[in-house]
Structure 1
């Protein structure tokens, strides 16, 4: 792989760790429901799906189908949401049989650097019963228009099945859903050596406590499991390990992406092999994967429908979890500076699909106009902000191009450096949870099919 070295940094999370909220000393982890689930039962509960890995070809910046497998990582929610097209995402796939019947949709949303870091995109679909065609579409790197780039045949009769050894993982249910339809949220141990298993259970309970105590939108639908498999290597300090990229010998294979050498590469972790990451999280059925990494450094990463990873023992754990999980739902940075955002769109895009960032200054086209008073001017001068007067304030989108064109709803949201989400972001997450669970709630677009 050719290593292209950009001159800009990435910003994720808020660049100054001294300005983000710290966890209260008195904050006690939510007690586990102590429902330890037998590994075999968890595996049996999964729905067979097709996991398709699309490889990025560095020589000509294009894509091809690298592999497709059958994996029991699906859920009833996945089957339900796959029947509606998600209007968000930089990479989208649709699987139809040879008669044109829909099998399912899937979507991933990332910035321009993602394909160079992971070198692959993964999509999951319901398992077809006969030969089908996968059409893969990708964001044009200049215009931002999502366009078809290839079609490939998938024959379920020839696909290998991923086998999971239940003796290698331990699963505990820490919270049961109290509302339906249910969403499977899994907390994965990454970089925890066998001797650190007890610490992982503590960190996992802390994550549940954070989501519940902060009333994360849609949390009532979440059944949250903690998934432990020992890593042979801890994350450790960010180090350039040389090229070619070494596959990390940890549960999910995550590591600091030294192979791109951008300015703040020590502030995120990425799959050293997308296939290893997906095999790991697919060992248990999932809708939302969250990697808790055995680290106390300040960093975090979130990508739409792809990855959330945070350090398990940083004193700003709650902020990091909420902020990075917010990215998983499509929310963008609401701060400025520090380098481009991970959800960076093509420079020529007319309007980003992130629900909390806009390039428009027209009230009629403002995504969150229902949260804006009729007396609030659009665009909105910063002098109008009083803590709750939402509008369209210049800012956000970190250091991404185009600069000085982005507008955000307000200030002090968790997608900046605040303790809680603003009403706009809460609404966006709630709608996405409803969509992902299979409910017919729209995501804010008029063209969901």
Structure 2
């Protein structure tokens, strides 16, 4: 009993230390803006500037992003001197929607936000975007004086309090992951907390998160809903929820996102965070992840462990999907520019492959693998999968199909001559031809349990950007 009591006190003390503002830690500024357009054009407009309730959660000595990831980048510069004060790469829901068929037919607007430590001087907030050469150029600039009278400084009280799931130390020294729940009733809040803890525990069994677990804080936060679960419009299911998360995004039945950025940020601001994963209280397989924004996972599915880590890989480290036989909402083109994502390549110059340091001498580039056999099996598997969804069969049947598919793939790949090699395996980034992944198998490719070497390195680089290892 005494040991349990002391452990509880230690957890509360650690959580308090993580929430408390270290001496000199600045406030958190959030700029909300509107990003609109279509397949041919984009526009930006200021919405509001806020001072969030909690101090800046990050390390003020690591304000510049050196990972070179994301379709976009935010830069905060001193308005008078032009000195760069803060930068981070990110991607957006708009950026994904722009590649869909719908974007060629209509114009839409999406709310977006950027956050940064409060500066002492007026600044220019710049949004940059990559061009076809992967170079960033400025697409929008806003003058921001964080001491101006129209800056929002007081907001309604928190609708819920953050739960410490795993506390490693003060927030500025750690990566702060916030797990939000959506679609949980008041009676299910205990279920949310238990699920968040279970999935966080699983995350730290996967390398390199496993080796770097002490560099993280994990928080949980959920606002109760009247009904259990989130909306799934393709089946006529519509539920009101705090974050408005739903299935069927961009017409993909398994794609789960929220497009209500203001609701997301207004809730998340009540906990220290740099990264967000939303757990939806649903059984149906699904999830999603946007680099630097958030990720989602169906919390009650048999594959929730995989979904949690796979989607977090997109959000946390900017990892691309390496699979290419599943249907997606994006429109394919004949062009094959070099992707900015660290784990896929167009292989325009094999001699300068971006993960060349992992490739052993003598490994052929491109690297042979049983591609024809895999694709033949996958075509049949996808037909069965689509029919199960069309017939609205029980989720247990879909889960069983996924298990059988992974077992078949593991057996096929285990016999391949380059089964564990790092090379350039054609088929990645939703394309069968012209894009390559670094290893035959990775949890960004299928439902296996480990990252490839290239993905693991990319995850480690992100951890280094947000934490002080060993502290």
Larger helix share, 1 or 2: 2
Which residue does the alignment assign to 1:56? 35
Secondary structure of the residue aligned to 1:360 is coil
Deviation for aligned residue 1:130? 2.5
Matched, 1:433 2:463: yes
CA contact (8 A) 1:333 1:341 kept: no
Deviation for aligned residue 1:361? 4.7
Matched, 1:113 2:96: yes
CA distance in 2 between counterparts of 1:143 and 1:62 reads 21
CA distance in 1 between counterparts of 2:465 and 2:265 reads 22
Higher mean displacement: 179-188 or 205-214: 179-188
Which residue does the alignment assign to 1:220? 214
> For 1:58-99, what per-residue CA distance to the aligned partner results, in whole angstroms no more than 9, with x for missing partners?
375222222221114554535343234541111211111222
Structure showing greater relative contact order (alpha-carbon pairs closer than 8 Å, 6 or more residues apart): 1
> For 1:96-143, what per-residue CA distance to the aligned partner results, in whole angstroms no more than 9, with x for missing partners?
122223331122124732467871332111112222111111245x67
> For 1:193-230, what per-residue CA distance to the aligned partner results, in whole angstroms no more than 9, with x for missing partners?
11111111110111122012234433220111222322
1:200 equivalent among 192, 197, 210: 192
2:146 equivalent among 153, 156, 171: 156
2:325 equivalent among 315, 325, 337: 337
Deviation for aligned residue 1:241? 11
CA distance in 1 between counterparts of 2:18 and 2:241 reads 22
The 3 A distance-change label for structure 1 pair 374 and 362 is: farther
Matched, 1:359 2:346: yes
How do 1:258-269 residues align onto structure 2 when only pairs under 5 Å count? 260=250, 262=251, 264=252, 266-269=253-256
Deviation for aligned residue 1:301? 0.5
Higher mean displacement: 83-92 or 35-44: 35-44
Matched, 1:408 2:437: yes
Which residue does the alignment assign to 2:79? 98
Which residue does the alignment assign to 1:390? 422
Secondary structure of the residue aligned to 2:32 is strand
CA distance in 2 between counterparts of 1:39 and 1:422 reads 33
Secondary structure of the residue aligned to 1:322 is helix
Secondary structure of the residue aligned to 1:414 is coil
Deviation for aligned residue 1:240? 6.5
> For 1:226-245, what per-residue CA distance to the aligned partner results, in whole angstroms no more than 9, with x for missing partners?
22322345434511699xxx
Deviation for aligned residue 1:157? 1.6
Higher radius of gyration, 1 or 2: 2
Secondary structure of the residue aligned to 2:204 is helix
CA distance in 2 between counterparts of 1:54 and 1:349 reads 31
Deviation for aligned residue 1:393? 0.9
Which residue does the alignment assign to 1:254? 245
Which residue does the alignment assign to 2:113? 122
> For 1:280-327, what per-residue CA distance to the aligned partner results, in whole angstroms no more than 9, with x for missing partners?
111111012111111111001111111111011111111111111111
Deviation for aligned residue 1:366? 1.1
CA distance in 2 between counterparts of 1:330 and 1:95 reads 21
Aligned length: 393
CA distance in 2 between counterparts of 1:368 and 1:183 reads 26
- TM-score, normalization: structure 1? 0.78
Q: Please provide the CA RMSD for this pair.
A: 3.2
How do 1:298-377 residues align onto structure 2 when only pairs under 5 Å count? 298-328=285-315, 329-340=317-328, 350-377=337-364
Deviation for aligned residue 1:376? 0.3
CA distance in 1 between counterparts of 2:218 and 2:255 reads 24
> For 1:19-62, what per-residue CA distance to the aligned partner results, in whole angstroms no more than 9, with x for missing partners?
xxxxxxxxxxxxxx753579998765485221112311237522
